[in-house]
A and B are shown apart, each in its own frame.
Chain A
Amino acid sequence: MTDRRSTAGGPAPVTGRNRAGIAQRLAQDLQDGYVVNLGVGIPLAVPQFLPADKEIVLHAENGVLGLGPAPAAGEGDPDLTDAGKQPITLTSGAAITDSAMSFAIIRGGHLDVTVLGALQVSARGDLANWYVPGRNPAVGGAMDLVAGTPQVWVTMEHVDRTGRPKIVPECTFPLTGRACVTRIYTDLAVFHVVDGQLFLKECAPGVPPGAVRERTAATYVEDLAADGPPAAEQVGVGRP
């Protein structure tokens, strides 16, 4: 393990995973029996990659446990939507709650994982994802989800549209929560946050560690497995 810090200057181009690929990589880490809340953006691509041999319950904060796939066009029920107000179906064994019960599930730590997008994540796992000052403020359930869920997994592009790193020493955007992020899945890499410290666990196929280093402003420890990303069946077994 060695400490790595980014260097200034224009990094050479690199191509990692696309947005669906980020979701696919994350889906490999969801374990049988997990109850998971998915935010908007990249997280919404996760369900299509859920392994068929695992039973994973999806939660929507408007009071649905057991989200199924979208209904066929024109067959949506106005009384059955996800937290993005899109029509959904229910899986067998689903349950409906009111909003107070839904957030008791969230805040009380009864979900296993929440998957969210991010503007920035800091080295110790602070998350900024709800507000860009000067723009329209809206928070929804993000602050409750990160406060209550044991595992907060972020999916995002490694850098913003102007090429600036989004994994930073300190968030400059307003915080959603402090020291709450436990994993970061980007187009280039997978990081874990353990005890306030950031670890680079994997680079995406074809992405050298140096390319991650050049695009990461935060300090982290390189802790790469010798043989790259784990096979799906090994994921989650004895790994932090």
Chain B
Amino acid sequence: MIDKFRTEVLSVVDRVPSGSSIAVGGFGSSGRPDALLDALCDLDRRDLHLIVNNVGDDASGVGRLAVEGRLRRLTASFPILQEFYDSYFAGKVELELIPQGTLAERLRAGGAGIPAFFTPSGAGTMLSDGTFTLRYSPEGGVAEHVPAKEHRIIGGREYVLEEGIVADFGFVKAHQGDRKGNLRFRLSARNFNPMAGMAGRHTIAEIEHLVEVDELHPDDVHLPGVFVDDVVPAAGAGAQRPLMERSPS
């Protein structure tokens, strides 16, 4: 029998070593797998490479990992959190900034066995021409740039070659899931979650509601269990979480 559901989040996340790359779903706090991210902190994991759209702008979720200095590299489009930028400018964390649609497609491509693709997004800009700073020197100044990407003219238009992303792990949050790992998301909390789940070599999904097999109609499965290795309960499953990516004030 296939049963991917585990109640102990920490024992599941314990298989994620320091130094791992992790594709993470969520857009701000919407659809963000906080139970899994908190477990990384509770297990004192460090030197992590997160591939995720946002950092959030408080010390929860991805922001907690950033504030606690657990990141080696961030691949993101919108990492707005002052503490993250402070670490970036101090040379403590690398930033690979990419357009949001390129992030989504790189994850999708990685999970789909596509090693690279050409896209018009960002072609000829400093995000693709080798001038964006990947890492600052702790002594000040630039230590390393994001390498220039291959450009090609196709049909008279300029495109940039972007590589698919396969991460060591995928972290996903879903509204409903069953023991086979079939997942259904809710409203705009879906966002990057299907792609993060596809891109992980080993994907862990936290779910708000565990449902019986067949309770999800096959037409309603957003991410099939073939992409999912472990299913765990979400933090405060079913509870409301803070909505805004802004400081309480």
Contact = CB atoms under 8 A, between A and B. Distances in A.
Contacts of A64: 188
Given A81-B28, A100-B105, A86 B244 contact: yes
Contacts of A78: 29-30, 189, 240-243
Interface in B121-139: 121-127, 132
A62 interface: yes
A9 interface: no
B187 A98 contact: no
Which of B101, B125, B192, B243 gathers the greatest number of chain A CB atoms within 10 Å? Answer: B101
Interface stretch (B11-19, B92-100, B210-218): B92-100
Most buried by A among B29, B185, B186, B188: B188
A87 B99 contact: no
Interface in B165-208: 175, 185-195
Contact of B97 (A77, A138, A175, A176): A138
Interface in B57-71: none
Contact of B122 (A87, A99, A143): A143
A83 B104 CA distance: 15
B119 interface: yes
A96 interface: yes
A20 B58 CA distance: 31
Interface stretch (B41-49, B78-86, B224-232): B78-86
A197 interface: no
Contacts of B85: 136
B30 A143 contact: no
Interface in B21-43: 27-31
B27 A140 contact: no
Contact of A140 (B78, B192, B194, B242): B78
- The main secondary structure of chain B at its interface with chain A is loop
A226 to B, nearest CB: 37
A62 B77 contact: no
A99 B121 contact: no
B123 A139 contact: no
Contacts of A97: 190
Counting chain B CB atoms within 10 Å of each CB, which of A97, A141, A142 scores highest?
A141
A111 to B, nearest CB: 12
Nearest to B132: A137
B102 interface: yes
A107 B121 contact: yes
A175 B119 contact: no
B147 interface: no
A103 B243 contact: no
B100 A141 contact: yes
Give the top 5 A-B pairs by smallest Cβ distance, nearest first.
A103-B101, A144-B101, A147-B120, A85-B28, A99-B104
23 contacts: A60-B188, A62-B27, A62-B191, A63-B191, A78-B189, A80-B188, A85-B28, A85-B243, A85-B244, A96-B188, A98-B192, A100-B107, A100-B194, A107-B121, A136-B85, A139-B98, A140-B77, A140-B99, A140-B100, A144-B121, A174-B126, A175-B126, A176-B125
Given A96-B187, A137-B95, A137-B97, 16 more contacts: A62-B30, A63-B190, A78-B241, A79-B186, A81-B27, A85-B30, A98-B193, A99-B53, A99-B103, A138-B79, A139-B97, A139-B98, A139-B100, A143-B99, A144-B121, A175-B124
